[in-house]
């Protein structure tokens, strides 16, 4: 029975791509999905002379569709240099279905375009990213009235919840990718860091102004090597981020209902809305946002996440911004 060159599964009918001369299933026949242009680029860059054959231990870094034993790593014969492509917050990698043993090292041969300090430690990238998000949060939640009424602590608390919403969202992507044994790390994005610095600058300039300054921030994102653009693994990796925000926000909202300390319970409800808003924003099915891949992979999962986040976001906003509901749910002690 013929097999799809990309996913390796058997199908009664496959389709031949004349661009890269391989057979694919109906899910992966699209040139952009199976990376046809990249394969032709690799072929063009290979020398005419027979290159020296090397063996790379790729054990658990093999794509999940391949058969291997994690206790006995498989040796894959490769020819020519490894090449890669970075696309948004995820990286698709092609080189005869093999991955370097240490894909994120400087010797891997992968060109991480658009990533700042690509070979520095992941913890340094995480720390810088979270600090940048926290600073943006301080500007976003700054309110002179809170300071006047001795609630300045709430600004720092909400900024912390904003940072953890971002952190847990990215960790969700990362841990699911690790579960599928894909090489993955959090990385700072060059354009995202520039955007964040611009937002910090404008936020400081308009801090005491009546004109609200935009506080856009995307300092970094999780980079996953080996994912297909449309597959179960890609869909689950992408869905993990908004799902974490859904669970985290629901937990905070539940706590706010039963916490007897005002206004702490009210501000925790605001923290819940931050998670719902972040998750909902990422479900927009455009560009590098999570929603695009989830929608292409499984529309049922997509609409379940969108409806859950949307309903909770609307309800939380109603609770927070309608005074009668706010006083009913979180009554002050006076």
**Could you tell me if residue 73 is inside a domain?**
no
CB contact at 8 A, 200 and 136? yes
CB pairs under 8 A, 24+ apart, for 311-314?
Answer: 312/246, 312/249, 312/250, 312/253, 312/272, 312/276, 313/273, 313/276, 313/277, 313/280
Looking at residue 228, what DSSP letter applies? -
The answer to whether residue 76 is domain-embedded is no
Return d(Cα 225, Cα 84) in angstroms, integer: 9
Structure tokens at 134: 């926290």
Position with higher pLDDT, 330 vs 175: 175
For residue 103 the two structure tokens come to 């894909």
- Tokens 């969108």, residue? 306
Give the DSSP letter string of 89-139. TEEEE-STT---TTTTSTTS----TTEESTTS-HHHHHHHHHHHHHHHHHH
* pLDDT over threshold 90, residue 245: yes
Place 131 in a pLDDT band, splitting at 50, 70 and 90: very high
Choice between 44 and 236, residue whose per-residue pLDDT is larger:
236
Is residue 185, in this structure, part of any structural domain at all?
yes
Q: For the residues 108-123, what does the mean pLDDT come to? A: 84
**Residue 32, pLDDT score:** 61
Which residue range is the domain that position 297 belongs to?
A: 120-329
**What band does 99 get if pLDDT is binned at 50, 70 and 90?**
low
The closest alpha carbon to 256, from 156, 306, 325, belongs to 325
Residue 111 pLDDT class (50, 70, 90 cuts): confident
Q: What's the whole-number average pLDDT of the chain?
A: 79
Mean pLDDT score, 52-73: 34
- Whether 80 maps to a domain, the answer reads no
**Which whole number is the average pLDDT over 281-292?**
90
Look at the chain and report how many structural domains it folds into. 1
Is the pLDDT confidence value at 60 over 60?
A: no
Which pLDDT band holds residue 126 (cuts at 50, 70, 90)?
Answer: very high
Q: Would residue 300 count as lying in a domain? A: yes
* pLDDT computed for residue 8 by the predictor: 66
**Average pLDDT score over residue span 175-191:** 92
- Percentage above 70 pLDDT, the chain: 77
Res. 34 pLDDT band, cuts 50 70 90: low
- Least confident span in 69-78, 114-123, 159-168: 69-78
Which one is predicted more confidently, 34 or 238?
238
Across residues 141-167, what is the average pLDDT?
93
Q: Is residue 306 part of a domain?
A: yes
Does some domain include residue 295? yes
Q: Decide: pTM greater than 0.75.
A: no
Question: CA 212, CA 209: separation in Å to the nearest integer?
Answer: 7
């Amino acid at each position: 029975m013929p097999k799809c060159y990309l996913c390796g599964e058997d199908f009664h009918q496959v389709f031949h791509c004349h661009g890269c001369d391989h057979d694919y299933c109906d899910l992966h026949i699209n040139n952009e999905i199976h990376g046809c242009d990249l394969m032709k680029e690799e072929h063009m860059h290979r020398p005419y002379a027979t290159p020296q054959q090397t063996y790379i231990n790729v054990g658990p870094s093999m794509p999940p569709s391949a058969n291997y034993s994690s206790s006995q790593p498989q040796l894959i014969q490769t020819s020519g240099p490894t090449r890669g492509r970075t696309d948004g917050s995820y990286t698709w990698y092609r080189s005869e279905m093999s991955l370097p043993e240490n894909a994120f090292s400087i010797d891997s041969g992968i060109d991480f375009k658009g990533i700042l300090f690509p070979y520095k430690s992941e913890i340094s990238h995480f720390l810088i990213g979270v600090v940048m998000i926290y600073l943006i949060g301080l500007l976003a939640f700054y309110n002179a009235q809170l300071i006047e009424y001795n609630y300045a602590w709430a600004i720092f608390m909400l900024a912390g919840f904003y940072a953890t919403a971002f952190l847990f969202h990215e960790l969700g992507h990362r841990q699911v990718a690790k579960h599928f044994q894909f090489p993955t790390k959090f990385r700072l994005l060059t354009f995202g860091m520039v955007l964040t610095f611009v937002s910090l600058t404008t936020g400081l300039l308009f801090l005491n102004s009546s004109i609200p300054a935009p506080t856009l921030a995307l300092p970094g994102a999780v980079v996953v090597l080996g994912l297909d653009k449309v597959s179960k693994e890609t869909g689950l990796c992408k869905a993990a981020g908004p799902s974490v925000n859904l669970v985290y926000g629901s937990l905070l909202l539940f706590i706010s209902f039963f916490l007897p300390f005002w206004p702490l319970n009210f501000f925790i409800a605001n923290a819940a809305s931050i998670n719902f808003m972040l998750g909902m924003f990422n479900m927009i099915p455009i560009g590098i946002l999570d929603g695009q891949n989830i929608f292409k992979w499984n529309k049922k999962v997509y609409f379940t996440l969108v409806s859950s986040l949307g309903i909770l976001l609307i309800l939380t906003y109603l609770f927070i911004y309608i005074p009668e509901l706010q006083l009913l749910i979180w009554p002050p002690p006076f």
